[in-house]
Structure 1
């Protein structure tokens, strides 16, 4: 071995040891991270909870539907919406290991990816890489709900403006997008998450949760034109593991809309789940931070998600949070009042209200992360007599 080659080898080994040591530091700190941050109330009713936007071996996922169901059951989920790429078969919902599997699809159009679920009829004329507007209309014709998948992601954004205005659903937070953003920022995000996963897989997933302003800005822009439904997408492929992702994030269905436990008939249960998801009644929660049972926006028409200018919404928090560790954040036609829990609607349009929590960070400190994410509130003008 030449001297130059020897130096090169030592440099490579040194770099490997440095990366391993760096990752090992985060493995150590992750072993001391404590979840949940917010303790649940003992009397809070149980909400049905599930995963949305999950891939299996029918496309590019690492697990069969049966393995996904097993992971969901181990994580305490009640349903999973499977959305394999361009899997256009109309499959009946079914219970597998006690978990309801609802079959949807992620359509690869020429201008982005479109998630569709709740179809009562086959998707007619749908094919991969078709024009986006045709795909949106085909989903509506089949009785389904369309959702813009990771619409501002660097790799696969939604690029067609006209069709974006016609799609009712929007993935406001996407686990896959978090992962891809971490890959582009390996030192600050990816290596800490990988290291943490060695001792605390859920903490490893939560370290990937680093929201950026672009999705919210785009979401609010589209929501001003028509009511939108906010989705938090697992976009799970099996890496990180299905179970770790399912234990970190879930879609919750309020008991007033969907009973718990779900109906034993899979068709009936799937219809109720689909209506709640498509109607905007579902709540996204980064469940590692705490369960959402008992959360509400008092002063709001829960079904239509409407209120008027001048109305005051009160955020009712579940659990027993430390007041300084929980923040209510608002966007759009609303402002947070001094008490930190009341939201005044200030102008017509749309308002987004979220609850954020100070969660375990990459080192031994904390970072602010979203916890509870409902769909937006439509703010109507206050007319005579209101």
Structure 2
């Protein structure tokens, strides 16, 4: 027994010595040569209101210990929970936001009003809803190997993209082939207790796909780049999701995560120590792109400025220059030895690996989108230590000629303006629906009444269906006027038999409480489910449906909507 204990102790000592000898390097502690005017904080933080470990007050205490001054909580939800008002907790300004699941990935909705119905469904619809509610939307973990998390809807008009995310980084290593990536994760379990924030930072991967997608987007319009910490203080053992405290390890901890990276926001005026006012100042700066990301687990505290000077004055990262005349780009930073500055234009390096603390690049009158980063020589395949937002140099161009007029080449009414002929209702076995022709001041409209059954989600729906026995081959859109008894979303669906199987394609539309004309083009419809053609085979479609379901309506809800002037059309230019 003594020999076994001695051998065990020797083995443990050898393992400990090996770990200590190969620990990630301690983060460099820098003395900022000047105050760059930024406020450190983080977004994408989960609490025990969804899948995080602790309540907001405790999480804020951890942030204060890590030196952060703001947090944005993004617990999972549908946007229907009234957010907590901005407040200071342990001296940290805390904002309450939401992470929404869509069919195209997860979307963070910041600074949005309470949603009048559950937000979900297609990513483009959620982006539209968040914008309508006055919010600022962030495409979350776009590099994640987990399909339901990864943002994929790059055509939607997102406001920002999360370029750096520690949760994505460890998932990518777990998904890689070969033993080395997985060994690095196992090794991290040993080094984390000794150097936690350095271990987290050491696992970060270069988000090359997201950077490329972002570079393509910012060529067309401003999109803000952000770092999200995706903190839960949970590592679920069984399925790698932090949704079960029973089998979850309490790592990585909130404070360690908060020390590993940060967002540095440059406000346009000093904070007033008034939570509501300071939240507006903070969000105004984030919306403007006056923010950069830094990996503090490598070196802290950073000082960084990316500016442009021109005849009309100066611009900072996030700004747009439209005046004519020569422009000079300027980078100033306290980069440590072994780090270098690169200035990028359109995703290509314009000036590479400059090791001076101050760099200037004259670009003349060249239009383009420019950004800067600071990288470590020791991490050539890793993310940048500092990532700026772009400066947009856009010259004023003459307006494009207007598109030629379009005209209707074929049209067919779906509602006769008097009766419900050709229309019917459908619903699941636990919900109810009704349909009648309701008179109004001028003419008649279809009135659809629905009541979804309560309880858990079991596929509740109610719909008004109209027959199209000859198909839709001669048409390219359906047009109608509609309103709801409250703001709501309705799914316009085409149904066809394909290979003997009933299949559907849909496009969601937003209804207000006043009549508005709505148009759905059939090429814009996407399939419901995973199988079948991506768009409806128009010749085979035999019915169109106006569907209310639990994608955007809560179980147990009831209401009414009105439809008039419904018709099929084909346009030509």
TM range (shorter): 0.7 to 0.9
What is residue 342 of structure 1 aligned with on the other side? Answer: 360
Give 2:454's aligned residue.
none
Aligned residue number for residue 203 of structure 2: 208
Alignment partner of 2:49: what SS? coil
Q: Per-residue CA shift, 1:142-181, capped at 9, x if unaligned? A: 1110111112322122233432xx1111111112111211
Name the CA distance, whole Å, in 2 between partners of 1:144 and 1:213: 27
- Counterpart in the other structure of 1:49: 40
| Kept after mapping to 1: 8 A contact 2:263/2:293 | yes
- 2:375 alignment partner in structure 1: 356
Indicate the residue corresponding to 1:159 in structure 2. 152
Name the structure, 1 or 2, with higher relative contact order (CA <8 Å, separation 6+): 1
Q: What is the CA distance between 1:221 and its match in structure 2?
A: 1.4
**In structure 2, distance between residues paired with 1:110 and 1:85:** 15
Correspondent of 1:104 among 86, 90, 97: 97
Structure 1 residue 267, shift from structure 2 partner: 0.7
Deviations 1:24-72 (A, max 9, x none): 63444327x23226x2235425632111111111111122111210110
Which of residues 249, 252, 265 in structure 2 aligns to 1:240? Answer: 252
Matches within 5 A, 1:1-386: 25-30=18-23, 33-36=25-28, 39-41=30-32, 43-44=34-35, 47-86=38-77, 88=79, 89-91=81-83, 92-119=85-112, 121-127=113-119, 129-155=120-146, 156-163=149-156, 166-185=157-176, 186-238=181-233, 239-254=251-266, 257-259=268-270, 262-288=271-297, 289-299=299-309, 301-302=315-316, 305-307=319-321, 311-318=327-334, 321-322=336-337, 324-332=338-346, 335-336=350-351, 341-343=359-361, 345=363, 348-358=367-377, 369-381=383-395
2:315 and 2:95 map into 1 onto residues whose CA distance is 28
Greater helix fraction, Structure 1 or Structure 2:
1
Aligned length: 353
Q: 1:141 to 1:63 in 2, by over 3 A?
A: same
Q: TM-score, normalised by structure 2?
A: 0.56
CA distance in 2: counterparts of 1:66 and 1:250, whole angstroms: 20
The TM-score with structure 1 as length reference comes to 0.81
1:334–1:313 Cα change, 3 Å: farther
Could you tell me whether the CA contact under 8 Å between 2:103 and 2:121 is conserved in 1? yes
Contact (CA 8 Å) 1:334, 1:344: kept in 2 or not?
Answer: no
Aligned-partner Cα distance in 1 for 2:38–2:318? 20
Which structure's residues are more often strand, by fraction?
2
Moved over 4 A (4+): 17-24, 307-310, 337-340, 344-347, 366-369
- When residues 102 and 18 of structure 1 are mapped into structure 2, their CA distance, relative to the original with a 3 A threshold, is farther
2:453 maps to what in 1?
none
Segments of 5+ residues of structure 2 without an aligned counterpart are 1-7, 234-250, 399-573
Q: State the alpha-carbon separation in 1 of the partners of residues 326 and 184 from structure 2.
A: 41
Change (3 A) 1:57 1:349: same
2:308–2:327 contact (8 Å) kept in structure 1: no
When Rg is computed on C-alpha atoms for both structures, the one with the higher figure is 2
- Asked if the contact 2:87–2:95 (Cα under 8 Å) also holds between the matched residues in 1, the reply is yes
Alpha-carbon spacing, 1:195–1:326, altered in 2? closer, same or farther (3 Å): farther
